[in-house]
Amino acid sequence: MRLALLAFLLIPSFALAADPEFTLTIRNHRFDPTELRVPAGKKIRLVIDNQDASAEEFESHALNREKVIPGKSKVPIFIGPLKPGRYPFVGEFNQSTAKGVVIAE
Amino acid sequence: MLGAAIIVLRETLEAALLIGVIAAATRSIPGRSRWITSGILLGFVGAGLVAILAGHIAAWFEGVGQELFNATVLGLAILLLGWHQVWMSAHGAELAANAHRVAQDVRQGQRQLSAILIVIALAVLREGSESALFLYGLLSGGEASRSSLLTGGALGLLGGAALGVLLYAGMLRIPVRWFFAGTSALILLLAAGMASRMTRFLIQADILPGLKSPLWDSSSVLPVDSVFGVLMHALAGYDARPAGMQVVSYAATLLVILAGMWWVRRSGPGSRH
């Protein structure tokens, strides 16, 4: 399993886009990867790619974030800067399977 | 079914509590039930539309559209609640004290109620569209039986509504002497909580800086997923790990509304005699 999928600079037009980007995929109501390693102390652009037909709600009390991701779509969520540590998250609409953790290090 | 009930209950709770507080706070304004009911119905229609259209206008929800939508809805609700608060501080005490009012008061009361209608419709729209999206997604995915999902959803909705009614009934028991101050304080906290939530959406969308994030972590003392935590979150905007900017906007909203109330009470055109 690849841990960090992507970290790239978006092309100039967007000054804020220098934040490192990571992708989380949702398939069959599961997150992939379930453990996402990100650098601590930096703002992260987390892109959630929901490949299921149904909507999911990304929710994390630890990250203080929640956002609905409609079926078959990709949405960004900005998180951090984080202190080193583990930040669990769930898919609120399918909590029995959709679980994961962001590890800042 | 239980899962659907719990999710819908959680999404409904905030709106239900808001409606309970507003219904109690406006009980002395004639004709308020009609306006409140219309607000709820409008919100439902709006939430249904958002859910049905979400599939077709997914692009609208892409990027940070969702955060902007939520932040706009919350911002509007804060303005209207703030105005209500200031208006009530000028007229509310009279309304509560006098059984019969002059026509002027009623007309002003009606204008006031139209603001209340919008606040309620917005709350139902925002909370309801998430429930609707959730149920609609599961229904169209064909992953669970329709009847059990709908039953669960209905149970959750009823549960939320029941909590709103409970809060309303509880507030009506506040002695008259404290009633105005009590509802007023609750609406202030609701508005400030909305400001904090709005700010969180704007931070999540990378439009506002978080400042220090989190400013504190009280999740071991009062987790936001505990029963009391959920209630405090819905009523007073409690957050266990707020960003500094959220706290700033919370305090600023409190101060601005309080200043408005103080100002109209001092300079109100003979509103007290």
The helix/strand/coil state of A101 is: strand
Catalogue the E-assigned strands of A1-105: 21-27, 30-32, 35-38, 44-50, 56-60, 65-69, 73-79, 85-91, 99-104
B85-116 pLDDT per residue, tens: 888 887 766 665 554 454 556 666 777 788 88
Give the structural domain span for B186.
Answer: 2-267
Q: Is residue A72 part of a domain?
A: yes
Say what the pLDDT of residue B146 is: 75
Q: Is residue B272 part of a domain?
A: no
Q: Is residue B273 part of a domain?
A: no
Q: Is residue B56 part of a domain?
A: yes
CATH number at A36 reads 2.60.40.420
- Tell me: pLDDT of B241 over 50: yes
Q: Are A42 and A23 in contact (CB under 8 A)?
A: no
Say what the pLDDT of residue A9 is: 37
- Tell me: pLDDT of B265 over 50: yes
Q: Is residue A1 part of a domain?
A: no
Q: Is residue B184 part of a domain?
A: yes
Select the residue of B66, B134, B137 nearest A67 (Cβ to Cβ): B66
Contact between B55 and A78 using a beta-carbon 8 Å cutoff = no
Q: Is residue B153 part of a domain?
A: yes
> For chain A, what is the domain count?
1
Q: Is residue A9 part of a domain?
A: no
Q: Is residue B81 part of a domain?
A: yes
Q: Is the pTM of this model over 0.80?
A: yes
Contact between B224 and A73 using a beta-carbon 8 Å cutoff = no
Beta carbon pairs, A and B, within 8 Å: 79
Say what the pLDDT of residue B27 is: 83
> For chain B, what is the domain count?
1
Q: Is residue A4 part of a domain?
A: no
Q: Is residue B73 part of a domain?
A: yes
- Tell me: pLDDT of B134 over 60: yes
Contacts of A52 in chain B (CB under 8 A): 141
In this structure, the dihedral spanned by the alpha carbons of residues B118, B121, B126 and B131, taken in order and rounded to 10 degrees, is 180
Q: What does the DSSP 8-state code read for residue A93?
A: G
Give the structural domain span for A24.
Answer: 15-104
How far is Cα of residue B143 from the mean position of the Cα atoms in its chain?
32
The helix/strand/coil state of A50 is: strand
Q: How far apart are CA B17 and CA B9, in angstroms?
A: 12
Q: How far is A3 from chain B (nearest CA, A)?
A: 23
What share of chain B has pLDDT > 70, as a percent? 86
Q: Is residue B202 part of a domain?
A: yes
Say what the pLDDT of residue B114 is: 87
Q: Is residue A10 part of a domain?
A: no
Q: Is residue A69 part of a domain?
A: yes
Q: How far apart are CA B99 and CA B105, in angstroms?
A: 12
Contacts of A86 in chain B (CB under 8 A): none
Q: Is residue A3 part of a domain?
A: no
- Average pLDDT per run of 10 along chain A, which is 105 residues long? 40 56 96 96 94 90 91 90 95 91 96
